[in-house]
Copies of this chain bind each other. A is one copy, B any other.
Amino acid sequence: MNGSEPLGERRIIRIIQEQLEVMAGLPLGFGDDVSAISIDDGRLAVLKADMLVGKTDIPPGMSVRQAARKAVVMNVSDFAAKGVEPLVILASLGLPRELGEDDVREIGRGLNEAAREYGAYVIGGDTNESSDLIISCSLLGFSEEGRLISRCGAKPGDIVAVTGEFGRTAAGLKILMEGLSAPEEIEEPLREAVLMPKARLREGVALSGTGVVTSSIDSSDGLAWSLHELSDASRVGFTIDSLPIAEEALEFAGIHGLDPWELALYGGEEYELVVTVRPDGWGEAEAAVREAGGSLLRIGVVTEEVRVELRVDGETRPIERRGWEHFKMG
């Protein structure tokens, strides 16, 4: 490192991890979506902390209230991927000194609304002065051994599935950040996908209840990235053959001459779940998600060969390990 090129997130996490003494008996690896510890017979305390940073996580057009909401949602989404309901939330704030009373009130509202939306409560936190707006949320919930879905259990032959369509947020970000236009009837849903993201908590909890899900992750860094993460953790490959792209994203791509697959695979900021399901449990998994009010969509299959690829119109092309690059403002 010469210090001029920034270290990547994965590299940073690896360096930090190398310095840490490992606690014995942890149910999940360091790099999984949440952390967990056994607290008594079979019971697990589940923790997650993730930080929203103004410069990289708040696109133009997003209010501070929506930003606070997003800070909660992105953490809840990781709980959703593991099938755990968050119970309580702490919010550590770094506030630029120019923020006024109204902004602070809106941050409080956004935090509370998002917490309540997922059945949790904000019960504490702290505040500091900082140059960027920082909203760092910590979540606590409880689960049981055997119910927590890790990233590492995918087996060849398992079905790969997602909880919704892709591409809306990538298109929405192009509207918000690059000023691209869209017909009125699709502009609103595309913007909303970015500004008011939803975590698939009910779906994740329902899936963990079935016992047929072998691995799970959320798609916050992009579908392609999530597939590669699952591939690394489970040491398997994926062949994706039927990716559900949102109608609005297809239309938007058509208007601007964009590749809809690009929007769907490498978009990011999309909080769907990406799971693998034992083939004999597919019916059960699908029914559980339907009962929870969602839908589980089959997109491909787990392969023995460690390769992540897309099969479309009889052709196979690699899905790159390209993640969602957080937007830099200025």
| A107 close to chain B: CB less than 8 A | yes
Scan residues 89-140 of chain A and give those whose CB is less than 8 A from a CB of chain B: 90-95, 97-102, 104-105, 107-109, 111-112, 115-116, 121-132, 134, 136, 138, 140
| Nearest 8 pairs of A and B residues by beta carbon | A19-B108, A35-B124, A23-B121, A138-B138, A16-B108, A6-B97, A49-B90, A136-B136
Shortest CB distance A169–B (Å) = 19
Total interface residues on A, CB under 8 Å, equals: 74
| A175 close to chain B: CB less than 8 A | no
If the complex has contacts A127-B16, A131-B132, are A49 and B97 also in contact, measured as CB distance less than 8 A?
no
Selected interface stretch from A7-15, A154-162, A232-240: A7-15
* Complex Cα gap A116–B9 (Å): 25
Scan residues 21-35 of chain A and give those whose CB is less than 8 A from a CB of chain B: 21-23, 26, 30, 34-35
Selected interface stretch from A51-59, A189-197, A255-263, A274-282: A51-59
Residue numbers in B under 8 Å from A138 (CB-CB): 47, 49, 90, 138
Most buried by B among A102, A124, A129, A140: A124
B1 touches A92 (CB 8 A): no
Query: Which residue of the partner chain B has the closest CB to A138?
Result: B138
| 10 A-B pairs in the complex with CB atoms less than 8 angstroms apart | A16-B111, A18-B105, A37-B140, A49-B126, A51-B134, A53-B94, A53-B129, A56-B130, A130-B132, A134-B136
Partner of A127, one of B13, B22, B142: B13
* Complex Cα gap A97–B3 (Å): 9
* Complex Cα gap A253–B208 (Å): 63
If the complex has contacts A51-B94, A104-B16, are A124 and B30 also in contact, measured as CB distance less than 8 A?
yes
| A48 close to chain B: CB less than 8 A | yes
| A242 close to chain B: CB less than 8 A | no
| A316 close to chain B: CB less than 8 A | no
A128 touches B37 (CB 8 A): no
B124 touches A7 (CB 8 A): no
Residue numbers in B under 8 Å from A116 (CB-CB): 21
| A326 close to chain B: CB less than 8 A | yes
Number of copies: 2
| A246 close to chain B: CB less than 8 A | no
Residue numbers in B under 8 Å from A107 (CB-CB): 16
Residue numbers in B under 8 Å from A126 (CB-CB): 13, 49-51
Residue numbers in B under 8 Å from A132 (CB-CB): 94, 130-132
Residue numbers in B under 8 Å from A101 (CB-CB): 1, 7, 11, 15
| A245 close to chain B: CB less than 8 A | no
A34 touches B108 (CB 8 A): no
* Complex Cα gap A54–B150 (Å): 34
| A88 close to chain B: CB less than 8 A | yes
Residue numbers in B under 8 Å from A6 (CB-CB): 97-98, 129
Partner of A92, one of B51, B99, B326: B51
| A39 close to chain B: CB less than 8 A | yes
Residue numbers in B under 8 Å from A136 (CB-CB): 49, 51, 92, 134, 136
Residue numbers in B under 8 Å from A129 (CB-CB): 6, 53, 55-56, 326
